[in-house]
Structure 1
Amino acid sequence: MSVQTDMKDEWVQYLLLPSLVFALVMGLLEWSQGDLLLADGLYRLQSATDGWPLRDSFWAKTVMHKGGHDFVVILAVGLLITCGLSVKRESLKEIRPGLIYLLSCFVLTVLIVGALKAVTHVNCPWDLLRYGGSEPYIPTFESLPDGVKPGRCFPGGHAAGGYGWVALFFFAKVYRPGLRWWGLAGALLLGVSFDVAQQLRGAHFVSHGLWSLMIAWWVASLGYLLWFRRYLQPGLDVPDNH
C-alpha cells in the first residue's frame, strides 16, 4: 500500500467514520429525546421528588467530581514535568514528540470544552422544572426564549478531563502498538466514570458527555494526522500498526 493511500485510509478510519457515527448517534438522541428519557430514568432511580439526592453526596461530589478533577490535574502536571525532563534525559528524548502531543491534546480538549461552556445556553438537568429546578427544558440547538436563564452546562467539562486522554491511542500506536487499545480503554473508562457520576448528580445529560468525547477525539485524531505522524517521518507514513 502506498504512503498516500495509507494516509487517506487513516483520514477515513480515524476522522470521517467516527464523525459519521457520532452524527448518527446525536441525530437519534435528538429525535428520540434520549437525553430526557435517560435523565428521567436516573431521576426515578433515585426516588427523587424534589432535586437530585446524589448531587451533594460524598461519593459523587467529593470522590468522583473533586477527586477526579484533582487526579487529572496531577496527571497533566506529571506529564508537563516529564516533557521538561525529556529535554535533557536521553531515555525520554525519543518519545518527547509524543509527550508534547499528549499534553497538547489534553489541554486543547479542556480549553475547547471550557470555551463552549462559556458561550452555550444549555442548562443542567438540576436547573430544570422537570427535575425540581426553575427553568424549562430547551433542546441543545434551539434558541433560548426570552426570560429563560442561560445555563453553562454544555459540553461536559468534567467528562472532558477523562476523555482528553484518548490521545493515548495514537501515542501508543506510534511507540507501543500493542498497547494502543489499552490506552484508549483507559481514557474511555476514566471519561465514562466521570460522565456517569455527573449524570447521577443531575449535572449533565448524556449528550453533553458524548460531545466532550467527540471533541477530544477530533483533537487527538487531527493532532495525529496533521502533526504527530508527519513530525516523526516528514513525507512518509508511520509504520502500519493496524
Structure 2
Amino acid sequence: MQTASPSRFYWLNFGIPLACAAIVFLMFDLTQIDIAFNNLFFDPVTQSFPLDQSHLFEKITHKWARIIPNWTAEIALIGAIASFIWPRLNPQKHSKIIAFLEKIKVAPVLRFAAKHRRDFLFVVFAFSITTGMIHYLKSHTSVYCPIETTQYGGKIEHKEWYKNFDLLNDAGEGRCWPGGHASGGFTMLALYFVARRYRWRYSKALMYGSLALGFIYGTTRVLQGWHYMSHTFWAGIVVWLTCLLTALAFYGRARLDKPVLGKDEVPGFENEPQVAG
C-alpha cells in the first residue's frame, strides 16, 4: 500500500507542533496570560492556592495519577527483558523447561514478548529519552514554580524560561519548566506510535487520550499553583517531538506513515520483521 508523501508526513508531525510552540511563546511567554489565569485560583487573603492545601486533591491528582505512566513503563521494561528469554530456549536442550513454561501458561507470554521486542524497547527508550529531555530543560532554564515566586507570596522573582536558558550549564535551582507531571501523562503518546506501526484504526483515539491525560495532569498542578498553563503546553510539545524522533529511529517514516487499517482489514503481525535473538 502506498504511503503519503514525506513532506506531508513531516509537515503534520513536525510542522504542527512547531507552529504550536510559536503560538504558545507569543500568547503566553510574552504576555501576562499565565499569571492572569493562575490568579483565578489564588486566594489573596490567605496568600495561598486553596487546592494546594487539599491532601485528597494532591493524593488523587498527583500521587495516584502517576500509577498510569509508571506502570506502563514498568510493564514495557519487564516485556523488554522477557523478550530475550524465549529465543534462548533451545527445544532440544531445554525441552523440560519449555514444557513447564507451557504448563504454567508463561510460554505464550514469552513468545509474545519476543515477537514484540522492538515495541517494548521503543516504549522503554521513549519514556527514558522524554524524561531525560524534560529534566534537561528544567535544569537548564531554572524556572521557579508560581507558588515559589513573589507574585504568590514566595521569595523568588518570576522569570520566563528563555531569560534563564543555558545550553550547556545548570542555570540554577528552579525546576518548574516544562511541566514534569504533565509530561508523565504525555509520555503515553509512545503507545500511539506503536499503534501507528501496526496501523491500528483506533490509534488516533489513543493519541487524543494521551494528550488529554497530559493536559489533565498539567491542569491539576496549575490549580494548585505549582505550574503555569504554558508549562503544560510546552511539556506536550517537547514530549511529542521526542517520542516522534524516537519512533522514527525505531520504525522509520514509511512504517509510521501508512494509512490505518480499514474495518475489514487485520493487522499483519505475522509479516512484521523479527528481531534476532
Normalising to structure 2: TM-score of the pair? 0.74
Normalising to structure 1: TM-score of the pair? 0.84
1:42 is paired with a residue of what secondary structure? coil
Residue-pair matches, total: 230
Q: Alpha-carbon deviation of 1:213?
A: 0.9
Consecutive unaligned residues in structure 1, runs of 5 or more: 231-235
Q: Which residue of 2 aligns with 1:72?
A: 69
Q: Which residue of 2 aligns with 1:233?
A: none
**Percent of aligned positions with the same letter in both sequences?**
25
Q: Alpha-carbon deviation of 1:42?
A: 2.4
Q: Which residue of 2 aligns with 1:208?
A: 231
Pick from 38, 54, 61 the counterpart of residue 51 of structure 2: 54
Q: Alpha-carbon deviation of 1:169?
A: 1.8
Q: Alpha-carbon deviation of 1:121?
A: 2.0
Consecutive unaligned residues in structure 2, runs of 5 or more: 87-109, 166-171, 261-277
Letter of the 1:96 counterpart = R
Pick from 212, 215, 221 the counterpart of residue 244 of structure 2: 221
Whole-Å Cα distance in 1 between the matches of residues 141 and 246 of structure 2? 25
Whole-Å Cα distance in 1 between the matches of residues 24 and 237 of structure 2? 11
Whole-Å Cα distance in 1 between the matches of residues 259 and 45 of structure 2? 49
2:121 is paired with a residue of what secondary structure? helix
1:136 is paired with a residue of what secondary structure? coil
Q: Alpha-carbon deviation of 1:222?
A: 1.1
Q: Alpha-carbon deviation of 1:115?
A: 2.3
Q: Which residue of 2 aligns with 1:161?
A: 184
Pick from 176, 180, 197 the counterpart of residue 174 of structure 1: 197
2:156 is paired with a residue of what secondary structure? coil
Contact 1:64-1:194 at 8 Å conserved across structures: yes
From the superposition, tell whether residues 63 and 161 of structure 1 become closer, same or farther in structure 2 (CA, over 3 Å): same
Q: Which residue of 2 aligns with 1:43?
A: 42
Q: Alpha-carbon deviation of 1:237?
A: 4.7
Pick from 108, 126, 130 the counterpart of residue 147 of structure 2: 126
Q: Alpha-carbon deviation of 1:239?
A: 6.2
Q: Which has the larger radius of gyration?
A: 2
From the superposition, tell whether residues 75 and 240 of structure 1 become closer, same or farther in structure 2 (CA, over 3 Å): closer
Residue correspondence of structure 1 range 116-155 to structure 2 within 5 A: 116-143=137-164, 150-155=173-178
From the superposition, tell whether residues 224 and 72 of structure 1 become closer, same or farther in structure 2 (CA, over 3 Å): closer
Letter of the 2:179 counterpart = G
Does residue 113 of structure 1 match 2:131? no
Runs of 4+ in structure 1 displaced over 3 angstroms?
A: 236-239
- Taking only aligned residues, the RMSD between alpha carbons, in angstroms, comes to 2.5
Whole-Å Cα distance in 1 between the matches of residues 178 and 257 of structure 2? 35
From the superposition, tell whether residues 118 and 104 of structure 1 become closer, same or farther in structure 2 (CA, over 3 Å): same
